[in-house]
C-alpha cells in the first residue's frame, strides 16, 4: 500500500515522505548555523587583529612624538644658548 501511495502521488498516506523532507531541512538549518558561526568568528578575529595593529601603530607614533618633542626642546635650548644676548 505504501508503494501504491508513492506511485499515485498521494503523499498523505506515505509516512516516509515527511521523514525525507525533515532530514534535508534539518541539515540545511545546521549548515546555515555552522556558516553563521564561522562568519562571526572570522569577523571577530579579523577585527581583533586590526585593533591590535592599530594599538601598536598608535604606540609607535606616540613614541615618535615624544622623541620629536624631546629633540625640539633640546634644539631650542641649544639655539638659545648660542644666540647672542639681546637678539
Do residues 28 and 36 make contact, with C-beta atoms less than 8 angstroms apart? no
What does the pLDDT read at residue 1? 47
Instruction: Give the tens place of pLDDT for each residue, 23-73.
Output: 778 888 899 999 999 989 888 888 888 888 889 888 888 888 787 888 888
Length of the chain: 87
The pLDDT-based confidence of 87 (bands split at 50, 70, 90) is: low
Q: What are the sequence ranges of the domains in the chain?
A: 2-82
Name the pTM for this structure.
0.39
**Cα dihedral sign, 6-11-13-17:** positive
Cβ partners under 8 Å of residue 83, min gap 6:
none
pLDDT of residue 16: 66
Contact status, residue 37 vs residue 45, Cβ threshold 8 Å: no
C-alpha–C-alpha distance, residues 77 and 71, integer Å: 10
Amino acid at each position: 500500500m505504501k508503494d501504491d501511495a508513492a506511485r499515485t502521488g498521494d503523499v498523505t498516506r506515505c509516512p516516509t515522505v515527511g521523514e525525507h523532507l525533515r532530514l534535508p531541512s534539518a541539515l540545511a538549518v545546521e549548515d546555515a548555523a555552522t556558516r553563521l558561526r564561522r562568519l562571526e568568528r572570522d569577523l571577530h578575529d579579523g577585527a581583533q587583529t586590526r585593533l591590535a595593529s592599530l594599538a601598536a601603530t598608535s604606540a609607535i607614533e606616540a613614541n615618535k612624538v615624544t622623541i620629536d618633542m624631546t629633540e625640539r626642546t633640546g634644539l631650542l635650548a641649544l639655539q638659545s644658548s648660542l644666540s647672542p644676548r639681546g637678539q
